[in-house]
Amino acid sequence: MSENYMELLKQKIDQENLDKLLALKNEEVINFVGEYVELCNPASVFVRTDSEPDRAYIRGKSLSGNEEIPLKTKGHTAHFDGFFDQARDKKNTKYLAVGDRKYTKYVNTVDKDSGLGEVRGYLKDIMQGKEMFVCFFCLGPANSEFSISAVQITDSAYVVHSEDILYRPGYEQFKGVKSEFFHFVHSAGELEAAVSKNVDSRRVYIDLENNTVFSTNTQYAGNTVGLKKLALRLAINKASKEGWLAEHMFVMGVHNDQGEKAYFCGAYPSMCGKTSTAMINGEKIIGDDIAYLRERNGKVYAVNVERGIFGIIKDVNSTDDAVIFNSLTKEGEVIFSNILVDNDGVPFWLGKDAPLPSKGINYSGDWSPGKVDDKGNEITPSHKNARYTISISALDNVDENLENPDGVEIKGLVYGGRDSDTSSPIEQSLSWEHGIITKAAALESETTAATLGKEGVRVFNPMSNIDFLAVGLGKYIDMNLRFKDKLKDAPLIFSANYFLRDSDGKFLNAIEDKRVWLKWMRQRVDKSVKALKTPTGFIPKYEDLAQLFKTVLNKEYKKDDYIEQFSLRIPKIFAKIERILKIYKESEGIPSQLFDELEAQGQRLSQCQKEFGDCVTPQSFKEE
């Protein structure tokens, strides 16, 4: 350990907090903290342990610093990001590139020396006059083969408060850490009205060689909460070396008629129904966002990396999302971000089944109906990407295996997107390889407000993970394909699409219909129902869905609806195959198996088209 750092730490850290740091007996941690105390030059340093007093200190700092404001309901607070700091910043999120290492062309890179020089320039004295928080967390359940330790340095109490809700405490576990761990350095930068002022200097730079992420001049959690998507990038890199998978997936339990659970993982891009699926009434949730998957004894096991939810709140209401709505409206620890707060301290968001307040405050400041920005665009009362942060244990449907260090056995993988005109609501792949290629690696989704840029554009997003890949696209697909080599009992693979529309633009599925699609997947896992084999996969039989709609939703399921939803739109599928092939032909290192699988599907579709025409109804296919 550098003696210079030790002298510096003695000057910057009071004895109580220095003792907390030294108690870890980890030279790498002490040097890491020392380096950024020297660079960022905070006025003081707080070292957070796993204790409740330390948690309370952070919560108090977030309120006293106006990063959060208290709401009417006990335990609820609201946080506002800056007007131009409302989503993940793809443009300024970059890997620090070294040598000839291959990255996917869908992510940004910057030369490591140049990028480090830039971001360290922003970090120089950035915490002057502020308090630095040094915090320790665990990704995955503690004391598990899934566990990864992480240390977060930040000057934002809101970031730490969010992480306290979202992640397991990791200070005590750090005392035994001998292997590599993840490092995160963040500063909100200069503040104006308690939000980041210099968003033009917003940077998120990722150093894979040193497992370190730097984030500057931003507060939005997707750019600042290091253990979320930033850590996912580091984990994918680690998994690629060690033979497991780090995925953008929920983990949930789905019951059969006998009340027995089978666990599923699901990958959906933002605003495609991922969290609402994981939280469906009557089923059990382990996690809604990120999962680690490992093989054990020929089976797949998974854990939720997190213990909380940073969820999109738009359209959450008491009818369609009863579980989460109940948790968001009762006493307990919840952070609302970028919603509208009325004069009584009650939060309002888009889609909430409550009257719109006549005025209040939101991410734009004081708000009333008709307010516009400097370009004349209406400022909605709540941002489309407004969020809530809540502990999963606060939900009524939390699964008892949330903290199981062994994880849960996974029986099905679901890949869902936002597709208005091509894919059926649910379909099972013909095989693992067929699923990984045509359901996962070929995933597309129409863009939403969760990322900066234009909405409604169809975007290629394999495994819903394109933004977070830390390895080449070909290597990532190969990792998923080869994962089956270890398995004796591979999960079934499904695609899901809740956003199919008719020619008039009307959705063909009701929001609650996803409960039925899940139950059908559960039946397929149990091998309790047959299916119809199409060129693109197995689809449900009408009789089975009609029975499920009746028993699950007490609804009549019309045959005409079934035909419209599950007809094979061959020209649309061919168009998709062409789009996907073009992308992969322009990419390096793609496994030949991908092209073989897509070509085989094209041949099956051509034969089907010759026999039945462009739009093939389900009755044309045979049961298998």
pLDDT in tens, 300-359: 999 999 999 999 999 999 988 888 999 999 999 999 999 999 999 999 999 999 999 999
Give the start-to-end residue ranges of the domains of the chain. Answer: 3-68+86-242, 246-306+402-623, 310-394
- Asked whether residue 428 carries a pLDDT value surpassing 90, the answer given is yes
- Asked whether residue 141 carries a pLDDT value surpassing 70, the answer given is yes
Tens digit of each residue's pLDDT (9 = 90 or more) over 490-545: 999 999 999 999 989 899 999 899 999 999 999 999 999 999 999 999 999 999 99
178 or 116, higher pLDDT: 116
| Alpha carbon distance 526, 256 (integer Å) | 8
Q: What single-letter DSSP state applies at residue 283?
A: S
Average pLDDT estimate for 63-81:
97
Give pLDDT, residue 177.
82
| Alpha carbon distance 557, 510 (integer Å) | 11
Average pLDDT estimate for 61-66:
97
Tens digit of each residue's pLDDT (9 = 90 or more) over 352-392: 999 999 999 999 999 999 999 999 999 999 999 999 999 99
Give pLDDT, residue 1.
45
Interacting residues of 177 by C-beta distance below 8 A, sequence separation 6+:
26, 149
Signed CA dihedral, 344, 348, 354, 358: sign only? positive
Q: Active-site residue 272, yes or no?
A: yes
448 or 210, higher pLDDT: 210
**Is 3-68+86-242 in CATH node 3.40.449.10?**
yes
Q: What single-letter DSSP state applies at residue 141?
A: S
User: Which residues are registered as beta bridge partners of 204?
Assistant: 93, 215
- Asked whether residue 85 carries a pLDDT value surpassing 60, the answer given is yes
The catalytic residue among 265, 272, 608, 615 is 272
Tens digit of each residue's pLDDT (9 = 90 or more) over 97-111: 998 787 888 889 999
Domain at 310-394, CATH class? mainly beta
- Coil, strand or helix at 428: strand
Tens digit of each residue's pLDDT (9 = 90 or more) over 449-469: 555 556 567 889 999 999 999
- Average pLDDT in the chain: 94
Q: What single-letter DSSP state applies at residue 525?
A: H
- The token duo for 257 is 């008629």
In the chain, % of residues over pLDDT 70: 98
- Rounded to 5°, the CA angle 168-173-177 comes to 130
Give pLDDT, residue 584.
96
Average pLDDT estimate for 464-482:
95
CA distances from 370 to 30, 84, 356, 366 (A): 52, 19, 13, 12
- Asked whether residue 448 carries a pLDDT value surpassing 80, the answer given is no
231 or 179, higher pLDDT: 231
Give pLDDT, residue 449.
53
Note the CATH architecture for domain 246-306+402-623.
Alpha-Beta Complex (3.90)
Interacting residues of 375 by C-beta distance below 8 A, sequence separation 6+:
none
Q: For the chain, give percent helix, strand, coil, nearest 5.
A: 35, 25, 40
Sort residue 527 into left (φ over 0), alpha (ψ -120 to 50) or beta. left
Q: At what angle do helices 231-242 and 473-483 cross, to 10 degrees?
A: 60
| Alpha carbon distance 539, 520 (integer Å) | 10
Nearest partner of 186 among 211, 215, 207, judged by Cα: 215
| Alpha carbon distance 609, 600 (integer Å) | 14
How many CB atoms within 10 Å of residue 561?
A: 16
- Asked whether residue 439 carries a pLDDT value surpassing 90, the answer given is yes
User: CA torsion angle for 607, 609, 610, 611 (degrees, to 10)?
Assistant: 90
Give pLDDT, residue 4.
73
Give pLDDT, residue 53.
97
Tens digit of each residue's pLDDT (9 = 90 or more) over 203-262: 999 999 999 999 999 999 999 999 999 999 999 999 999 999 999 999 999 999 999 999
